[in-house]
Amino acid sequence: MNWFHPPAFLLGETPQKLITSNKRKSHLGLNSLKTRSNYWQLLPYIHPQWHNIIKGFVGIVGYVLATLILINLAGKLSTPFAQGDVAAIAKLAGILAGVFLVRGFFQSIQDIYMAKAALRVAFHLRKQVYSHLQKLNLSYFETAKSGDLSYRLTEDVDKVGEVVHKLFHDFIPCVLQLVAIPIYMIYLNWQLTLATVIVAPLMGVLIAWFGERLRKIALTSQNRVSDLSAIVTEIFSGIRIVQAFAAENYEIKRFSKEAQRAFRAKYSTQRLKAIQIPIIGFLEAVGALSLIFVGGWQISQGNLTVEKFFSYLAGAALLIDPVGHTTNNYNEFKQGEASVDRVFELLTIKPTVEEKPDAISLPPVTGKVEYRHVSFAYKPREAVLNNIDLLAMPGEAIALVGASGAGKTTFVNLLPRFYDTTTGEIYIDGINVRDVTLHSLRRQIGIVPQETMMFSGTIAQNIAFGQEDFDRSAVEKAAKIANAHQFITNLPDGYYTKVGERGVNLSGGQRQRIAIARAVLLNPRILILDEATSALDSQSEALVQEALERLMQGRTVFIIAHRLSTVRRCDRILVLESGQIVESGTHEELLTLSRRYARFYAQQFS
């Protein structure tokens, strides 16, 4: 079993309290939230960016005002064009160029500050979600898909950031233009404006209908891609097993099936967009033709001058771009709602193990551990541990043996509060573990797992895992105690050698000795060894065993072992069966009883 050792992962912010918690069944194995999709959930992240948004809004206002000036100047060009006045045309062209320059300046202000605000929103949201995930208990990560979580933290958060950027950078300026320009057009001629916007209600209804359809399809599409990402992560992590069982074709078929589902979902999105574009384009063309017809009629009746008609045409032309952008933005907003829901869905998941508001920091302990009437069940009425009582004195080494499923791993998982007891209490030095902070508790409990997890970075960083600033000499000292110094110094860059993904460049024995060095550097008073030598060859096992004996000196140690040769010298051996301690004593005492432990021993050494 892989152990989750979280000291460095427990440093995060508390999610916003305005997020409510409702559960629904999810095909992703998550406690998902079914809410009405909206962007109001982003307000706590947008609000701190008000100063950047105001600066960007100044740019937006300047841009829109410059656009109105351009519309007015465009009308004034009609007279010198009709008269062939080159000087007047050149003068107006120069003024137009200046206005375009000013307009571009305001647009750059808008782009810079709105982009900064949007990126900040995405940054803080990603940090918030990641910090929240680190606080969830082990049971959540045993069911969640790592590929899906990665997708939500990367692609979905990026999509949210893009939508916020579109809102600030594109949508708001377009809406202001769609308000300001028509008002000016009404001032020029209300009859023309009526002809121009007569199809607007129909366009609005169609845009809203297409947008809602896109939102639903986009949610399906993102879930399909998320599933695909989860499969890729799973397969590449276990590629050795895939090849060992000659299951490449099976996995290719499974991947192809999932990829086909993702293709169909994305294709549905693009097909709907392809249908929408010509329909909206046709309605825009109808509006333009209505404008030309009514404008010509107004001029023939003497109700409109050619100069004002030129200005009006310029205004109508400048409306085409914001109308198109608004339509596209609306579609993207509806698709983005799926990402907003998927991201905030994670923040609704509540950890089952939480600190008390008045939790204290656990002082340095001697290592006295007491289980008082402890029971635990992962599911109601399915007890894994049943009424466990135990007193471990400082410096005592206690082995836990028993068949698979007897409750050994669950027994030690309760000590650092990876789970909370269903009933009963656990005390360290007379202090209830529920009364102390998780960080202070887990910093005094070292764990050497059966399969060591290596993280990206150097050998030294892996030994000093969870410590930003560490003493290089202390790292070397820990490595020497763990019998790791010699092989580390033989690596190309010594302690600064980069480990491969999951430590694939190191042997099992080398990874295990790094895990021991990690525990040595932590210097815990309580130590948990989970089958620390079971997967090693005899030579590696001897080196690791020697390192473990050094590490165990003066500490309270809990050892989970199937190989009984590793527990003979323990102060006490507990035999667990069906969640209960059925035998307790030294190796010799239990052999004398000729019961369960004696049978286990005989089976292994007969």
Q: Please give the angle made by the CA atoms of 224, 229 and 233, to the nearest 5 degrees.
A: 150
Q: Is residue 222 part of a domain?
A: yes
Q: Is residue 277 part of a domain?
A: yes
Percent of the chain with pLDDT over 90: 14
Between 339 and 425, name the one with better pLDDT.
425
Residue 114 structural domain:
32-347
pTM: 0.65
Virtual torsion, Cα 508, 512, 515, 516, nearest 10 deg: -160
Between 131 and 229, name the one with better pLDDT.
131
Between 76 and 571, name the one with better pLDDT.
571
378-403 mean pLDDT: 90
Query: Which pair of structure tokens corresponds to residue 126?
Result: 């990603």
Q: Is the pLDDT of residue 12 over 50?
A: no
Among residues 198, 403, 348, the alpha carbon closest in space to that of 287 is found at 198
Domain count, the chain: 1
Between 202 and 167, name the one with better pLDDT.
167
- Report how far Cα 155 is from the mean position of its chain's Cα atoms: 9
* Kind and range of the H or E run holding 159: helix 157-166
Between 192 and 560, name the one with better pLDDT.
560
Q: Is the pLDDT of residue 416 over 80?
A: yes
Q: Note whether 551 and 516 are within 8 A (CB).
A: yes
Specify the 3-state DSSP secondary structure of 379: strand
235-251 mean pLDDT: 68
Instruction: State which amino acid sits at residue 296.
Output: G
Q: Is residue 181 part of a domain?
A: yes
Instruction: Give the per-residue pLDDT at 425.
Output: 95
Q: Is the pLDDT of residue 31 over 50?
A: no
Between 394 and 450, name the one with better pLDDT.
394
Q: Is residue 138 part of a domain?
A: yes
450-455 mean pLDDT: 75
Q: Is residue 484 part of a domain?
A: no
Instruction: Give the per-residue pLDDT at 153.
Output: 84
- Mean pLDDT highest for which of 70-74, 81-85, 556-560? 556-560
Which tens digits make up the pLDDT trace of 558-588?
998 777 767 888 899 999 998 899 999 998 8
Specify the 3-state DSSP secondary structure of 381: coil
In this structure, the strands spanning 397-401 and 423-428 are: unpaired
CATH number at residue 309: 1.20.1560.10
Dist CA 90 CA 546 (whole Å) = 91
Instruction: Give the per-residue pLDDT at 284.
Output: 64
Instruction: Give the per-residue pLDDT at 432.
Output: 95
Q: Is residue 207 part of a domain?
A: yes
105-128 mean pLDDT: 88
Q: Is residue 550 part of a domain?
A: no
Q: Is residue 98 part of a domain?
A: yes
